[in-house]
C-alpha cells in the first residue's frame, strides 16, 4: 500500500486481535478516504477501541493488513507520527503548567505547527491561556486535549469521545471546529457514543459489532437499514391513535380533509439511533 495522496487515509483488511480466548477484532475491513469525517460507532466490547489503538500504532495486531497514510503503523517512524494527531479518551497532562505553557511545550515536538495563540483560539481557550491546567473544568481539559492533538497540523486526527464532559453549547461549538478542520483538508476518525454527534458531523458512519464492521454508509443512508416508514400519532375521541406509513403527509391530509383538527399530532421518522440499535442487535 503506497503513500499516494489519492490512496485512502486508512485501509484495513482482515484485521484480527485476540486477548487470550476472546476474539476482540474478527476479520475487520475498513476504509476511510482522505479529507472525510468518518464516525466509528459500536457498543462497549465490540472491538472499536482495539481497532483504533492498532490504527494509532499503540497496539499490535495478530493478523491483517493495515495502512494509515500509506504506512503500516506497526512500523511507523517519527515522520509518520508527526502527521497524525491523537486525542485520547483519557489523557494525562502537565497539571502544574499553564494552558499556554502546555501548548508551547507540545509544539516543540513538531517541525511545522500552528501558533499556540491560534490553536487556543480554535478550541476556545484563549481566555484561559494563563490558567493552571489543574484548575480547568472537565470540558476545558478536553478542549486542551484537542489543542494538543492538532498543534502539529496533522493530516489525520483520531478523536476518541472528544466531547465527553461538554455541555450542549460547548459541544456544538466543538462541532464547528471539527467542520473547520475537515474543510482545511484534515481527515478525521471520530469515535463517539453521541449518535446525534455522528449524524451532525460524519460524511460516513461505520458500525462495529462483534469485532466486525457490519455497516458503512452516510448517516442518511444508514437510516434506511431500519423500517423507513414514519409513525403518525394523534388523539381522536380521547384515544391515542398510531399509524405506520411511508406517506405521512397523505395520511394527515386524508384524516383532516373534513376540517377536523388532529389533536396532539406528531410525525416521527427513523433516526440514526434506530439504525444503530438494529444493526448491533442483528450482529
Cell matching residue 184: 482545511
The burial of 130, by beta-carbon neighbours within 10 Å (0-12 exposed, 13-18 middle, 19 or more buried), is given as: exposed
Stated as kind and residue range, the H or E segment containing 116 is helix 116-122
How confident is the model over 84-127, as pLDDT tens digits?
A: 999 887 665 667 899 999 999 999 988 889 999 999 998 889 99
What class has domain 35-45+78-218? alpha beta
* Greater pLDDT, 221 or 255: 221
**CB-based contacts of 258: which residues, under 8 Å, 6+ apart?**
none
How confident is the model over 17-53, as pLDDT tens digits?
A: 999 989 999 999 999 999 999 999 999 889 999 999 9
β-pairing, 187-191 vs 63-68, is unpaired
Cα–Cα distance for residue pair 75/227, rounded to 1 Å: 45
**CB-based contacts of 31: which residues, under 8 Å, 6+ apart?**
8, 10, 11, 12
Most confident of 65-74, 239-248, 257-266: 65-74
Helix (H, G, I), strand (E, B), or coil: what is residue 185? Answer: coil
Using alpha carbons, select from 65, 71, 93, 97 the residue that is nearest to residue 84. 71
- What does each C-alpha distance from 78 to 50, 215, 278 come to in angstroms? 22, 34, 42
The confidence score (pLDDT) of residue 238 equals 79
* Greater pLDDT, 282 or 247: 247
Which DSSP state fits 7?
Answer: S
How confident is the model over 166-181, as pLDDT tens digits?
A: 778 878 888 998 998 9
The confidence score (pLDDT) of residue 90 equals 66
The confidence score (pLDDT) of residue 177 equals 86
Whether 3 shows a pLDDT value over 60: the answer reads no
The burial of 249, by beta-carbon neighbours within 10 Å (0-12 exposed, 13-18 middle, 19 or more buried), is given as: exposed
Q: In whole numbers, what is the pLDDT of the chain averaged over residues?
A: 88
pLDDT band at 1 (very low <50, low <70, confident <90, very high): very low
Mean pLDDT for the stretch of residues 193-206: 92
**Of all residues in the chain, what percent carry a pLDDT higher than 90?**
51
How confident is the model over 115-164, as pLDDT tens digits?
A: 999 999 988 899 999 999 999 887 788 889 889 999 999 999 999 888 87
Cell matching residue 128: 484561559
Instruction: Report the predicted TM-score, pTM, of the whole model to 2 decimal places.
Output: 0.82
Q: What are the sequence ranges of the domains in the chain?
A: 35-45+78-218, 224-282
The confidence score (pLDDT) of residue 17 equals 96
The confidence score (pLDDT) of residue 2 equals 41
Amino acid at each position: 500500500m503506497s503513500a499516494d495522496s489519492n490512496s485512502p487515509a486508512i485501509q484495513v483488511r482482515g484485521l484480527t486481535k485476540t486477548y487470550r480466548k476472546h476474539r476482540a477484532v474478527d476479520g475487520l475491513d475498513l476504509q476511510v478516504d482522505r479529507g472525510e469525517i468518518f464516525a466509528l460507532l459500536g457498543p462497549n466490547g465490540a472491538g472499536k477501541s482495539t481497532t483504533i489503538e492498532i490504527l494509532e500504532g499503540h497496539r499490535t495486531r495478530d493478523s491483517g493488513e493495515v495502512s494509515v497514510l500509506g504506512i503500516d503503523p506497526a512500523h511507523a517512524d517519527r515522520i509518520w507520527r508527526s502527521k497524525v494527531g491523537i486525542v485520547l479518551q483519557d489523557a494525562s497532562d502537565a497539571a502544574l503548567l499553564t494552558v499556554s505553557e502546555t501548548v508551547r511545550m507540545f509544539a516543540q515536538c513538531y517541525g511545522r505547527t500552528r501558533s499556540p495563540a491560534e490553536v487556543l483560539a480554535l478550541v476556545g481557550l484563549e481566555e484561559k491561556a494563563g490558567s493552571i491546567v489543574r484548575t480547568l473544568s472537565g470540558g476545558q481539559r478536553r478542549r486542551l486535549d484537542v489543542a494538543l492533538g492538532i498543534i502539529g497540523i496533522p493530516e489525520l486526527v483520531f478523536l476518541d469521545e472528544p466531547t465527553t464532559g461538554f455541555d450542549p453549547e460547548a459541544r456544538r461549538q466543538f462541532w464547528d471546529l471539527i467542520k473547520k478542520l475537515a474543510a482545511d483538508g484534515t481527515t478525521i476518525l471520530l469515535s463517539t457514543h453521541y449518535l446525534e454527534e455522528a449524524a451532525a458531523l460524519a460524511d460516513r458512519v461505520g458500525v462495529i459489532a462483534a469485532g466486525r464492521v457490519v455497516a458503512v454508509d452516510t448517516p442518511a443512508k444508514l437510516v434506511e437499514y431500519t423500517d423507513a416508514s414514519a409513525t403518525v400519532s394523534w388523539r381522536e375521541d380521547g384515544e391515542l391513535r398510531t399509524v405506520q406509513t411511508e406517506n405521512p403527509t397523505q395520511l394527515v391530509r386524508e384524516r383532516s380533509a373534513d376540517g377536523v383538527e388532529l389533536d396532539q399530532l406528531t410525525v416521527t421518522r427513523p433516526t440514526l439511533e434506530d439504525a444503530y440499535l438494529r444493526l448491533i442487535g442483528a450482529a
